[in-house]
């Protein structure tokens, strides 16, 4: 058996999201994050953690073949906390809002296969009771998959994530003010 490689966790956001980055930094305190570093030329800020084997094990779940990102088969046991869902949405979600009759959440899952997206869709249904479909979208001339939260599940979705939405990303859910000032 090969020893697990060490990995670190690196996070970077723009000036607009410095409050959220600071909040994430506080959430991962046990991973001994670096101080926030500024990249003025690009109006960005970042931090990284120390390299650890437990992070290497976690990375290996999502990158089993070092390069191709996959959804692990046990995703249902990994993503079941409402806070995790909110963080995922803040990082990779958008609100598709066109008029008062069309308001749906989308997750950018462009790097995953159709089967991987189905695993995520099943997890969202089983763990959170959300009705979600996998849909195709075109970006830069290529077809990708993303997750689409049905209108009938939007209230439940918002109720689940609203208490955890950071004020920097409250715009991703209309009328969500981030009940806890994160």
Q: Give me the pLDDT at residue 179, please.
A: 40
Final residue of a domain: which of 19, 41, 68? 68
Report which of residues 9 and 137 the model is more confident about: 9
Q: Range of 23's domain?
A: 1-68
Same domain, 57 and 125: no
Number of C-beta neighbours around residue 28 at 10 A: 13
Same domain, 61 and 74: no
Q: Does the pLDDT at position 2 exceed 80? A: no
By mean pLDDT, which of 59-73, 95-109, 148-162 is the weakest?
95-109
Q: Which residues of 71-85 are buried (b: 16+ CB within 10 A; e: fewer)?
A: bbeebbeebeeeeeb
Tell whether the torsion through CA atoms of 23, 34, 78 and 169 is positive or negative. positive
Same domain, 100 and 146: yes
Same domain, 90 and 55: no
């Amino acid at each position: 058996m090969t020893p697990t490689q060490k990995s670190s966790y690196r996070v970077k956001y723009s000036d607009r999201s410095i409050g959220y980055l600071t909040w994430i930094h506080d959430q991962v305190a046990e991973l001994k994050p670096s101080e926030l570093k500024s990249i003025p030329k690009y109006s960005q800020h970042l931090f990284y953690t120390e390299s650890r084997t437990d992070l290497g094990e976690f990375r290996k779940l999502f990158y089993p073949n070092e390069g191709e990102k996959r959804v692990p088969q046990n995703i249902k046991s990994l993503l079941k906390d409402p806070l995790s869902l909110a963080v995922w949405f803040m990082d990779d979600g958008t609100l598709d809002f066109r008029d008062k009759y069309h308001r749906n959440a989308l997750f950018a899952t462009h790097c995953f296969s159709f089967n991987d997206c189905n695993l995520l869709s099943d997890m969202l249904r089983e763990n959170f009771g959300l009705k979600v479909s996998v849909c195709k979208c075109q970006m830069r001339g290529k077809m990708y998959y993303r997750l689409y939260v049905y209108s009938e599940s939007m209230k439940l979705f918002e109720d689940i994530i609203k208490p955890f939405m950071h004020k920097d990303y409250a715009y991703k859910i209309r009328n969500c003010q981030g009940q806890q000032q994160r």
